[in-house]
Amino acid sequence: MTAALFVQALFAGLTNGFVYALVGLGIAVIFKGSRTVNVVQGEFVVIGALVVVGLLDAAGLPYPVAALAGIVGGLLLGSFTEVAFIRPLIRRRAGEDALLLVSIGLAVAMSAAVLYVAGRGSYLLPAVGGNAVVNLAGATVRVHALFLIASGAALVLGLAWFFRHTMLGLSMMAAAMEPDGATVTGIDTERMRTLTFALGGALGAAAGILVAPLTEVNYQMGLALTLKGFAAAVLGGLANPLGAVAGGILIAMVEAFGIVFIASGYKNVFAMSVLILVMVLLPNGLLGRRARAGG
């Protein structure tokens, strides 16, 4: 094991880890706000990135404007998903399995819609710093990978601050944890749930915009991203959004070190074995304290 190889695997793990963490963060935020496991989260990532690709190519907008439009697109898609599909089910007090199934159906439909609109091709976005690389302890790391890690960390910290210190964030948490009590104090719980989905959609789109310069985005990758994000969120304790970061990094590290030091073909076998092991040994997740919500 050379030091350079070790650092290389470490950065690969950290980069993928933040991607999984951002997807997991979206899943955890939506789960916290609505008790729905949102299988569509991976599609938010793909659609967010593709909207930016479209705006850059077709409309020729400057990159920051296109990126902002992509995030707004994710936000609108998230809100629409809640209002059109989740709200009728929750009003009827449908079970968790019904919510999960609607979400699966939507993921199938959205992935097929992406195939219909964007075709089977794969798309890249321009990277921050172009193709520039940095040499860190003998390992080559792309500047955009560092940008992704920094942006991911900033988003996570911003979100933690939002949920703990802003009126809106606290209201969203209250509406999710104690809907009846929140209604009594004048919180519009339905609106809060829509906002939760909007936030999840925006986070998904942001993840897509950050990852699309490193990995090509195509219509097929939504479900795979959802699964990794879900795994990250569950590892961290599904109702604790910050846990998703720890979970995402752990899964990506196991993958990265497994690929470098054992065999590249068994990437998912390593990650999924770790997931099952952690779930059995630490049923509250990596950062969990009390009994798991949703279990």
Partner 1 sequence: MPAPCSLLSTRRAALAAMVALATAVPLAAPVELVDRLTFAAIYGVAGLGVGLLLGQCGILNLAQAVFYGIGAYASAYGCVELGWPPVAGILAGMAVSGALAGLIGWPTLRLNGYFLALATLALCIAGGELFFEWDWLTGGSYGIGGIPALDFAIVRFDKPEKFYYLAWGVLALALVLARNLIASRDGLAAQAMRDAPDAAAVLSIDMHALKVKMFVLSAMLGALAGSLFAHYVSFVSVQSFGVERSILFLLVPVLGGARALSGIIIGALFVALVPEVLSAFGEIHHVLFGLALVAVVILCPEGLAGLWTRLRGARRPARRPAPVTTAKEVEHVA
Tell me which residues touch partner 1 (CB under 8 A): 37, 85, 88-89, 92, 94, 96-98, 100-102, 104-113, 115-116, 223, 227, 230-231, 234, 238, 265-269, 272-273, 275-276, 279-280, 283, 292, 294-295
CA distances, 39 to each of 60, 77, 100, 200, 242 (Å): 32, 14, 7, 12, 19
Closest CA to 223 of 42, 48, 19: 42
Rg (CA), the chain: 19
Spell out a b/e string for 30-46, using b for 16 or more CB atoms within 10 Å of the CB, else e.
bbbbbbbbbbbbbbbbb
The smaller minimum CB distance to partner 1, of residues 111 and 218, is found at: 111
Backbone torsion region of residue 136, taken as left when φ is above 0, otherwise alpha when ψ lies between -120 and 50, otherwise beta: beta
Of 215 and 268, CB closest to partner 1: 268
Identify which of residues 84 and 134 has a Cβ nearer to partner 1 in the complex.
84
CB of 178 to partner 1, least distance (A): 20
Beta carbon nearer to partner 1, 116 or 167 = 116
Residues 6+ apart with CB under 8 A from 265: none
Nearest distance in Å: CB 95, partner 1: 8
Question: CB–CB of 2/261 below 8 Å?
Answer: no
As measured in angstroms, the least distance from the Cβ of 174 to partner 1 is: 23
CB of 119 to partner 1, least distance (A): 10
Asked if 232 and 23 count as a contact pair (C-beta separation under 8 A), the reply is yes
Nearer to partner 1 (CB atom), residue 62 or residue 119: 119
Closest CB 270 distance from partner 1, rounded Å? 9
Are 254 and 274 within 8 A, CB to CB?
yes
Kindly report the number of other CB atoms within 10 A of residue 157's CB atom: 12
Whether residue 235 contacts residue 247, with contact meaning beta carbons closer than 8 Å, is answered with yes
What is the rounded (10 degree) CA torsion for 98, 278, 172, 110?
Answer: -50
CA 280 to chain centre: 24
CB of 262 to partner 1, least distance (A): 12
C-beta closer to partner 1: residue 92 or 289: 92
CB of 75 to partner 1, least distance (A): 21
CA dist 151 → 8, 156, 184, 198, 275 (Å) = 20, 9, 38, 19, 26
Q: How far is the CB of 123 from partner 1 (least distance, A)?
A: 19
Residue (214 or 223) nearer to partner 1, CB: 223
Q: Which is nearer to partner 1, 139 or 252 (CB)?
A: 252
